[in-house]
Amino acid sequence: MHLVQFSYKEFSQSDWHLDSGASTHIVSNVNLLTNVCNRPKTKEIIVANQTVVPVSCSGDLQLTTCVGDNEFTIDVKDVLCVPNLTTNLLSVSRIIASGNRVMFNKHGCLIYNSQNDCIGEAILENGVYRLIVIRIQQPLVAAVKFSSNIWHRRLGHINTNDLNKLKNGAAEGVSFDDKSENNKNSCIVCCEGKQTRLPFPTSTSKSRNTLQLVHTDLCGPMENLSLGKAKYYLLFVDDFSRMCTVYFLKCKSETFKYFKQYKELVENQQSKKIKILRSDNGGEFCSTEMTNFLKQSGIVHQKTNSFTPEQNGLSERYNRTIVEKARCLLYDAKFEKFLWAEAVNTAVYLKKTDHQQQAWMAVKLRMKYGQAESQS
């Protein structure tokens, strides 16, 4: 059992005080801790008024202190969490035991590390030493490990192989225990949401640059109007990078408007021009205004033969994947069907995080992203 000299009712929960009588570090807010142990060795402590208060857990945290114009990040290990304590305490004896020095004077005290750098300053206020703290580093959600089933659902019911590849480095922040359940045949939502026709064959495209070939496809009309009154969604997929972009349309005639928006966006962002647009023979893609605009822009329009969507297999496969993910998201969350556009938008984002997309990103668009996309 540890002893604390302060009366736990006297101070603010946001303050940090140095306590020469405390035998351990104490925090009142469990959310500040990382590496949390819910079975601490110390079960309770005694405060100055001889009250015994329970310890809920222990862990580590980071403090950012200020000394003059300089900031220092301090790692504090083995901190006890006492929710009933309305302040936070740093044990002077534990600070010294960690190889530091604490120098007291009439105005307060200074903390020096083993390199003789002053890394902390406390001000004497009302007989106690309050440490000057800029902020406490809040632990990231990524510090928590979720089960593979949670990741499977979070990533739009991603398949088992791609989920494992994400865990193994294709994206940052995906972590789960190897022993946790990860049975691809056990997800009822996947069984209900992915009952589709046979897959389209793999594309034989040999694009070597972004925007050399862009695939597009229109999906709809949907059974329900979206929140934005849309009935269709329009998908664009860059053949080289596999980057996909989606727009939601109230009617097919808006296809031309959103193609111009897409063209302006990607050409401006990448400082390149679209060379080829591949679509089916739908009237929305073969209208007079679309045809004239493509000619004026120097874009070759490749159209698939009637009733052979396999010729535009990439966009068809992406459409299938997005529809499946969106359907699974709605089923899993038990949302109404009119939220299909929000589900599709989420599915498009999640598509960027699967293994194949991450591989394309890492190799071909590293200059743009710099690192693997984080899921935390």
Q: Residue 29: pLDDT above 60?
A: yes
Is position 285 within any domain? Answer: yes
Strand runs labelled E in 126-175: 128-131, 133-136
Distance of CA 305 to the CA centre of its chain: 41
221 and 365: one domain? yes
Find the mean pLDDT for residues 69-85. Answer: 88
357 and 302: one domain? yes
270 and 149: one domain? no
Return left, alpha or beta for 298; rule: phi > 0 is left, psi -120 to 50 is alpha, else beta: left
Instruction: Convert the pLDDT of each residue in 86-143 to its tens digit.
Output: 788 999 999 999 999 999 999 999 999 999 999 999 999 888 899 998 866 555 444 4
242 and 358: one domain? yes
Strands 108-112 and 101-104: antiparallel
Is position 4 within any domain? Answer: no
pLDDT of residue 141: 44
Is position 60 within any domain? Answer: yes
314 and 267: one domain? yes
Two tokens, residue 153? 């659902």
324 and 217: one domain? yes
The residue among 74, 76, 72, 73 whose CA lies nearest residue 60 is 76
Is position 341 within any domain? Answer: yes
Share of the chain above pLDDT 70, in %: 73
260 and 170: one domain? no
Strands 2-3 and 70-81: unpaired
Instruction: Convert the pLDDT of each residue in 201-224 to its tens digit.
Output: 555 556 888 999 999 999 999 999
Is position 374 within any domain? Answer: no
Kindly give, in sequence order, each residue whose CB lies less than 8 Å from that of residue 360, ignoring residues fewer than 6 positions away: 240, 241, 242
336 and 257: one domain? yes
Is position 224 within any domain? Answer: yes
pLDDT of residue 340: 96
247 and 286: one domain? yes
**Host domain of residue 357:** 213-369
Is position 5 within any domain? Answer: no
Is position 205 within any domain? Answer: no
> What CATH number has the domain bearing residue 37?
2.40.70
**Full-model pTM:** 0.52
The residue among 234, 240, 204, 209 whose CA lies nearest residue 221 is 234
127 and 152: one domain? no
For the annotated catalytic residues, the residue numbers are 19
pLDDT tier at 8, thresholds 50, 70, 90: very low
How many structural domains compose the chain?
Answer: 3
126 and 149: one domain? no
pLDDT of residue 52: 83
Instruction: Convert the pLDDT of each residue in 237-246 to its tens digit.
Output: 999 888 899 9
Radius of gyration of the chain (CA): 29
Q: Residue 370: pLDDT above 80?
A: no
